């Protein structure tokens, strides 16, 4: 299931010490949509139809895989989200799904069948935003190391907005990977407003597609909401190949 602002998921989310930010997430997302000129589906309505061809992919969008791959998977996520961690690296108590990302990379990305597009959905608190800012800096300076850093961020994830995830802990992780922490911090400081706009635009885009929590995926004409098993991704991707 995705991490989202809904009464049906609060009991589960409380196991992960969800802060007040989760309660405010709906208003934040709606505001991002409004400022970007998008629309949210009305309550009780079915989400809009989706098509991966409508997902915006620019030079500022982190991408893993060959541009000519026959299938594309867009992935909206928050580095503080335990359900995203379950999909990326696994090992989250109470979320019993096999991590799909390593399988997708090994079976589809590395064989030229799939490219993965990484989209921001930073809505769980200040550490979410800090991580998203560094996501853009890492992609800009070290695109070939982006996925390595992305997975390292999830392996380091712990208590939401109270443990790993503030700027200093992210910089420590960056140094441990042999990346230039000073250069990346300078990029974040210099381009904060630009990066914040990219983050806001990604959230608004995802919300416009009917994504209201993390993780959320679009591939082909299918929306996959939540931390699904690898078989779900394989079935939808294989149908496009």
Alpha-carbon dihedral 14, 77, 26, 82, rounded to 10 degrees: 0
- The per-residue pLDDT string of the chain (241 residues; one tens digit each, 9 = 90 and over) reads 555 533 233 333 333 333 333 334 444 444 443 333 333 333 444 556 999 999 999 999 999 999 999 999 999 999 999 999 999 999 999 999 999 999 999 999 999 999 999 999 999 999 999 999 999 999 999 999 999 999 999 999 987 777 899 999 999 999 999 999 999 999 999 999 999 999 999 999 999 999 999 999 999 999 999 999 999 999 999 999 9
pLDDT, tens only, 130-139:
999 999 999 9
For the stretch 163-206, pLDDT in tens is 899 999 999 999 999 999 999 999 999 999 999 999 999 999 99
Question: How is the chain split into domains, by residue range?
Answer: 3-238
Yes or no: domain 3-238 corresponds to CATH 3.30.310.80: no
Report the 3 state secondary structure along the chain: CCEECCCCCHHHHHHHCCCCHHHHHHHHHHHHHHHHCCCCCCCCCCCCCCCHHHCCCCCCCCEECCCCCCEEEEEEECCCCHHHHHHHCCCCCCCCCCCCHHHHHHHHHCCCCEEEEEEECCCCCHHHHHHHHHHHHHHHHCHHHHHHHHHHHHHHCCCCCCECECHHHHHHHHHHCCCCHHHHHHHHHHCHHHHHHHHHHHHHHHHHCCCCEECEEEECCEEEECCCCHHHHHHHHHCCC
């Amino acid at each position: 299931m995705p991490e989202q602002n809904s009464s049906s998921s609060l009991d589960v989310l409380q196991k992960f010490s969800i802060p007040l930010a989760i309660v405010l997430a709906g208003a934040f997302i709606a505001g991002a949509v409004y400022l970007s000129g998008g629309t949210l589906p009305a309550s009780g309505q079915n989400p809009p139809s989706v098509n991966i061809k409508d997902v915006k992919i620019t030079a500022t969008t982190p991408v893993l895989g060959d541009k000519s791959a026959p299938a594309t998977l867009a992935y909206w996520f928050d580095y503080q989200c335990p359900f995203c961690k379950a999909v990326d690296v696994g090992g989250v108590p109470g979320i019993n799904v096999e991590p799909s990302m390593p399988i997708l990379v090994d079976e589809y990305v590395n064989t030229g069948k799939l490219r993965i597009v990484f989209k921001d959905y930073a809505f769980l608190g200040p550490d979410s935003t800090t991580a998203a800012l560094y996501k853009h800096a890492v992609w800009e300076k070290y695109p070939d190391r982006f996925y390595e850093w992305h997975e390292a961020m999830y392996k380091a994830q712990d208590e939401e907005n109270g443990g790993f995830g503030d700027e200093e802990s992210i910089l420590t992780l960056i140094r441990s990977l042999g990346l230039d922490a000073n250069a990346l911090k300078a990029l974040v400081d210099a381009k904060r407003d630009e990066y914040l706009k990219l983050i806001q635009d990604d959230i608004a885009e995802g919300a416009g597609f009917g994504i209201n929590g993390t993780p959320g995926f679009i591939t082909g004409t299918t929306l996959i909401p939540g931390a699904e098993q690898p078989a779900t991704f394989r079935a939808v991707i294989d149908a496009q190949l």
